[in-house]
Amino acid sequence: MSISGPELQQLMLESAADAVKFAQEEFSVPLDQSPESIAAVDDLILAVRERYQNDVHDSKVIFTLCNLFGAYIGEVFRTRYGGTWVYDDGDKDAPAVFLAIGEYTFAFAGIVYQRLVNDQTLSTRLYYEEAVKNAAQAH
Nearest alpha-carbon partner for 85 in 72, 73, 99, 75: 99
User: For residue 124, what are the domain limits?
Assistant: 5-138
Buried-state track 84-99, b at ≥16 Cβ within 10 A, e below 16: ebebeeeeeeeebbbb
Please, which pLDDT band fits residue 94 given cuts at 50, 70 and 90? low
Dump the DSSP string for 113-137: HIIIII-TT--HHHHHHHHHHHHHH
**One-letter identity of residue 66:** C
34-59 pLDDT per residue, tens: 999 999 999 999 999 898 887 777 78
**Percent residues over pLDDT 70 in the chain:** 94
In the chain, how many domains are there? 1
81-91 pLDDT per residue, tens: 999 999 887 77
pLDDT score recorded for residue 76: 98
The enclosing domain of 35 has a CATH number of 1.20.120.1090
